[in-house]
Amino acid sequence: MSDAAMTLEGWYALHDFRSIDWTAWKAADDEERAVALDELQAFMKEWTTAEEAGQGSSTVYTVVGQKADFVMFHLRETLEDLKHLENEFNKTTFAKYTTKSYSYVSVVELSNYLGKDGGDPYQNPEIMARLKPILPKNRYICFYPMNKKRDLNDNWYMLSMEERRGMMRSHGMIGRSYAGKVKQIITGSVGLDDWEWGVTLFSDDALQFKKLVYEMRFDEVSARYGEFGSFYVGSLLDEGSFEEMLKL
């Protein structure tokens, strides 16, 4: 049996994708819409409270195309905290005007392929900042789930640690060449959701997602072993732009 990579885990993650029921939204009266917007704002304000208390981080982005209209991305200490957020949203008046499109449950993960040894990683502030990250405010987000292949000839999980480490090094080098342009959060979801990882990328230039993902496709670990789910891309919403989007 090959050695499993050691992983470090941080905050649990929920990507909660919703679509707007425009017919219902347009049919609502002004008062009902005002209540819905107020409750939405109050719900989003609680995210700031959690972030300031160091208990998590949340953000919301539009989703372009028909897969969804927006995605709320939450990081919290526990699965219960994530379920609570999901329920709190469902209880808002605004939720009546939305439908559920997709969701993804995972946990922020760092692997030991390239890590340095020494000390308790959970006491290392640099590592903790990556395991419990405050979500960036970049203009664009890109999310997709992925697997590493387990075919007869190409089985990632039967490679030796050395082979995997070599490929992850090459992967990390490409990634690092996008430093300052793309931020990534890798969340592990083996045993939690339908794919093995969630990849969440942030950038101020959406074209960088295409360039980075394309470049990685030629790198062995993606070319040979990567399997990908649906891609979701969109732009940052705040209270103001969310309201603007909903204005009739």
β-strand partners of 188: 107, 197
Q: Is 96 annotated as a binding residue?
A: no
Q: Which residues of this chain interact with ligand 76R, rule CB under 6 A?
A: 5, 111, 113-114, 146, 148, 168, 171-172, 175-176, 178-179, 182, 184, 186, 197, 199, 201, 212-213, 216, 222, 226
The rounded distance, in Å, linking the Cα atoms of 15 and 32 is: 27
Q: Provide CB contacts within 8 A for 81, sequence distance 6+.
A: 12, 55, 56
Quick one: 8 or 14, whose CB is closer to ligand 76R? 8
The separation between CA 185 and the C-alpha centre of its own chain, rounded to angstroms, equals: 7
The separation between CA 234 and the C-alpha centre of its own chain, rounded to angstroms, equals: 12
Residue type, 245: M
Q: How far is the CB of 4 from ligand 76R (least distance, A)?
A: 10
| CB-based contact 63:141 (threshold 8 Å) | no
Q: How far is the CB of 168 from ligand 76R (least distance, A)?
A: 5
Q: Is 104 annotated as a binding residue?
A: no
What is the number of the residue whose Cβ is closest to ligand 76R?
A: 175
Q: Is 113 a catalytic residue?
A: no
Structure tokens at 238: 């705040």
Quick one: 84 or 169, whose CB is closer to ligand 76R? 169
Q: Is 147 annotated as a binding residue?
A: yes
Residue ranges of alpha helices (H) inside the chain are 22-27, 30-52, 79-91, 125-131, 161-176, 207-217, 220-225, 239-246
Q: Is 130 annotated as a binding residue?
A: yes
Quick one: 166 or 175, whose CB is closer to ligand 76R? 175
Within 10 A of 41 (CB to CB), how many other CB atoms are there? 14
| CB-based contact 5:68 (threshold 8 Å) | no
Structure tokens at 203: 């950038």
Q: How far is the CB of 175 from ligand 76R (least distance, A)?
A: 2
Which one of 12, 61, 97, 144 is the catalytic residue? 144
Q: Is 171 annotated as a binding residue?
A: yes
Quick one: 56 or 226, whose CB is closer to ligand 76R? 226
Q: How far is the CB of 106 from ligand 76R (least distance, A)?
A: 11
Q: Is 146 annotated as a binding residue?
A: yes
Q: How far is the CB of 63 from ligand 76R (least distance, A)?
A: 18
Quick one: 97 or 232, whose CB is closer to ligand 76R? 232
Virtual torsion, Cα 156, 157, 158, 161, nearest 10 deg: 90
Structural element, H or E, at residue 188: strand 182-188
**Residues in binding site for Fe-coproporphyrin III:** 130, 144-148, 171, 184, 222
**Residues in binding site:** 130, 144-148, 171, 184, 222
Q: Which residues are catalytic, by number? A: 144
